[in-house]
Amino acid sequence: MLRSMYSGIGGMKNFQVKLDVIGNNIANVNTYGFKKGRTIFKDLVSQQISGASGASGGKGGVNPKQVGLGSQLSAIDTVHTQGSLQTTGRVLDLAISGDGFFVVGNVATPPGAATNLAYTRAGNFYLDQNGDIVNADGFYLVNTAGQSIRIPSTAQSMSIGADGTVSYVDASGNLVTAGTIRLAKFNNNEGLEKVGQNLYRPTTNSGAAVNTSPGLNGAGILVPGTLEMSNVDLAEEFTEMIVAQRGFQANTRIITTSDEILQELVNLKR
């Protein structure tokens, strides 16, 4: 009797986590570069009532008898599928078509070497007061030399190519290359840790970052003038929400039914 009650409690907790993940997905449906989460369950250890036996003495074999003790959380995956690209026409809006992440970091005295590196798929970049390319939180976009990228205030125009080359036309009308945007790849993208602000940090299971340029070593190319949208599918999330809600309700029924039977046992002696 109590086994079923504890199984129901465990199931309720699991579906609460599933709803938390679904809620976060829906909240970030319009977040640039966001990658949705997915909840995976697994069963708990089963209590052995009797073991299996092989055929002997003129009788066939007997299967084991086990009672499951509920479920537990197996994994919360980050699904790194490509999001759709939204055209903006803005020069500093960039999307990665394929694998890879933009590299951003802190720079003590720009332009200079970047430290405290983080990785993102959100490509909405801006120019600060010094002409350095930064993201919405002020982290500097890093080039293949590991430094920030600066566009001088005297530049007449600028452009970014699919290969990550950042160019501008100087005051004399000459085309000058300011640098090439760095992309980073990982052996296991799902091993990256989300740290907020659309940023990821490597972990021991993601592997170290492999630095490259767009279009090289398996990295995707840049699509200037576009932004990668979230890969959250609202129809799928609402369906999963219904499944989680019904699963939660079913587990509460297990607890209610177990409680009613326990009450009947208590009432046997009056």
Lowest mean pLDDT among 157-161, 198-202, 262-266: 262-266
Whole-prediction pTM: 0.88
Q: What pLDDT does 2 receive?
A: 78
**Segment 168-189 mean pLDDT:** 95
Report the share of the chain in percent with pLDDT over 90. 82
Q: What pLDDT does 57 receive?
A: 84
* In the predicted structure, residue 265 carries a pLDDT above the cut 90: no
Helices 234-266, 2-27: inter-axial angle, 10-degree rounding: 160
Mean pLDDT of the chain: 94
* In the predicted structure, residue 77 carries a pLDDT above the cut 80: yes
- Look at the block and give the residue holding tokens 């100087």: 170
* In the predicted structure, residue 1 carries a pLDDT above the cut 80: no
Please name which of 105, 134, 125 lies closest in space to residue 202, comparing C-alpha atoms: 105
Q: What pLDDT does 270 receive?
A: 67
